Structure 1
């Protein structure tokens, strides 16, 4: 059967747990993914994200005028390892009081708010580079055991470097949040790349930018630290599509910035 070109969808990336995908539809189309109407650029590009444990098939619906169609995509499942981390402050494993728990909830709300904007900038289309080079000491998806206590999975890419090492913006964006000392994540910075895609940098020793700043790819934005729940100095870089946590390693693999 002939399918009108206006209903065609194309994707860059891989349909795999933790993946970011950039799609293209005819400009002016309506695209719906996981019950969310997805914003398109004037040229028809859009971004979506797949969570750590999402299962397929996933449906993307596209419509324009009276025409509509649904596409179904299988999702490759992943196996995640267990990572044991000993030597973190025990207070970051078992919060000691109701007051601390309220602080944790309050800080979580700040981060969720910073990730919630659907800004129409297109910075994500320029690709990404590592915010710094160094040994990889933690990966996305691994089930974390802190001081012998099983906790939530790890959702970032850990890069070990000495305290004070400069962290650069992996892509252009707007700084949405700078916070000196969150309970779990320590020094925290959220950078918005547009269309719900954000980078978060945690355990920092300091920020070199402030909320509201526009930064370019490669610009110095922060310094490595060991604040929050950490055993030593490193950067924990996280990528989100709104509240969906993505794998930074897959972002780098499938959406590298031009050299």
Structure 2
């Protein structure tokens, strides 16, 4: 992810190709963010005739194999379970549609679980019960059940749901301009939709609900539908609101 600066409230065209673009507005200080998906090779930003190109170095990803999961958490679902899955997907769509204007991440992220053991890196290819699935778009942070989960940056809760099929429970935080972090498998949810949270404020506790084999937080990050590595924002330059 990059932070860019242009004219205040400028309309910026962002695209992967000339026939795959959309327009986003910078904020009142001319700040806007651009995120790059797991396997995105290139993107560009354009204001009028001025264009900036981004070439993205490919990364090597791990393979994550998990066996012994119940079949109804991998590939075989009853009609009742499919109804639950579809309903949960519809609720997630609303949460991910949140678009808070203010930027809550200018000084980067802190880790949401202070004392943890990382068990899965972002982007790992998932193999569940021997079946290849979509890549794992999160970072797994193992910690004892009940360990506090903290907001990594300021934002507004766009979803706090305690009855999700795969996630068990799910919290989404909108950090501004379409950047949304989310938190899976929580034991308890301590916030509600619409609530404003500050960096370091407790939002939940670690659990193992949903498709999980032990207590951990699956920490994820999206920007306008693109899957980002949340750990990269823990390396963000500190103390500069106008870096680019």
Q: Distance in 2 between matches of 1:257 and 1:198?
A: 22
Q: Secondary structure at the match of 1:131?
A: coil
* 1:130-152 per-position Cα deviation (integer Å, ceiling 9, x unaligned): 00131000111111111212111
**Cα distance change, pair 86–257 in 1 and its aligned pair in 2 (3 A):** farther
1:219 is aligned, of 201, 204, 208, to 201
State the match for 2:38 in structure 1: 52
Unaligned runs of 5+ in 2: 16-20
For residues 204 and 257 of structure 1, do their structure 2 counterparts lie closer, same or farther at Cα, with a shift above 3 Å needed? farther
Q: 1:128 to 1:110 in 2, by over 3 A?
A: same
In structure 2, what is the equivalent of residue 21 of structure 1?
Answer: 2
With structure 1 as the length reference, what TM-score do the two structures score? 0.85
Show the counterpart of 1:252: 234
**1:67-106 matched pairs, under 5 angstroms:** 68-106=49-87
| 1:114 aligns to 2:101 (yes or no) | no
Corresponding position: 1:239 with 2:225: no
Give the Å deviation of 1:163.
0.9
Distance in structure 2 (CA, Å) of the matches to 1:225 and 1:240:
22
Structure 1 residue ranges (4+ consecutive) displaced by more than 4 angstroms after TM superposition:
255-258
Q: Secondary structure at the match of 2:185?
A: strand
So what's the TM-score if we normalise by structure 2? 0.90
More off after superposition, 24-33 vs 201-210: 24-33
State the SS of the aligned residue for 2:234: helix
Aligned length: 234
Q: Which consecutive unaligned segments of at least 5 residues does structure 1 have?
A: 1-19
